[in-house]
Structure 1
Amino acid sequence: MTDTRLDTLEIHIAQQQQAIDDLSEALALQQKDIERLKASLHRSDSRIAELEAGLPAAAVEKPPHY
């Protein structure tokens, strides 16, 4: 194998490794965002449930136009 071909393959492997590392970092950041958003959604759901529990029950009445 010629040195030029070996150098080309090493460069290619290094570029692939960099791409894999970049994708891995992006995935880790996205996973953190997903966990943060899940926690926020859970807090919002809990708060909505608390607010709904404090409301009076809906009366079953005919609308005024009947």
Structure 2
Amino acid sequence: MGKTNQKKPGDPAKAGAEQEDGEVDNAFDLWLRRGLHQLYDTVAKEPIPDELLRMIEEDQRAKKE
């Protein structure tokens, strides 16, 4: 039998996948983006520790030499 391209219930949506009505399924992407922002925005806004900055600067200097 031939292979069909029909989506089965429960199949994950692919990025940019179109629904039967032709609209791009953005609901999951929006939900995921909002959830990730809620979890990680405060962490991303924290200052970089001085020790880590020092290590990065030392590594950059070592690569230039």
Q: TM-score, normalised by structure 1?
A: 0.38
* Structure label with greater radius of gyration: 1
Q: Looking at secondary structure, tell me which structure has more helix per residue.
A: 1
Could you tell me the TM-score, scaled by structure 2's length?
0.38
Bigger relative contact order, structure 1 or 2 (CA pairs below 8 A, ≥6 apart): 2
